[in-house]
Amino acid sequence: WHMGGFDDAAKGGCFAISEAYDKYPLAVKLHIADLKATYLMEHRTSAVR
C-alpha cells in the first residue's frame, strides 16, 4: 500500500487500510519498519531543511 493512511480514501472515511492491517498483521509491522527506517533512523540526516 503505497500511501497507507495518507491515501485520499483514508481522509474520506475509507477503512481499507484498517481492513488490510486486520487481514494481514505483517503489513502493520512492515509499515512500522518503514517508518523507523525512513524517519526515526534518518531524521536530521539530510542537508535539506
Under DSSP, the state recorded for 3 is S
In contact, 27 and 34? CB cutoff 8 Å: no
Q: How far apart are CA 23 and CA 39, in angstroms?
A: 26
* Tens digits of residue pLDDT in 9-23: 556 667 777 888 999
Q: What mean pLDDT is reported for the chain?
A: 76
pLDDT at 18: 83
CA 30 to chain centre: 8
Instruction: Band the pLDDT of 25: cuts 50, 70, 90.
Output: very high
Under DSSP, the state recorded for 23 is H
pLDDT at 39: 77
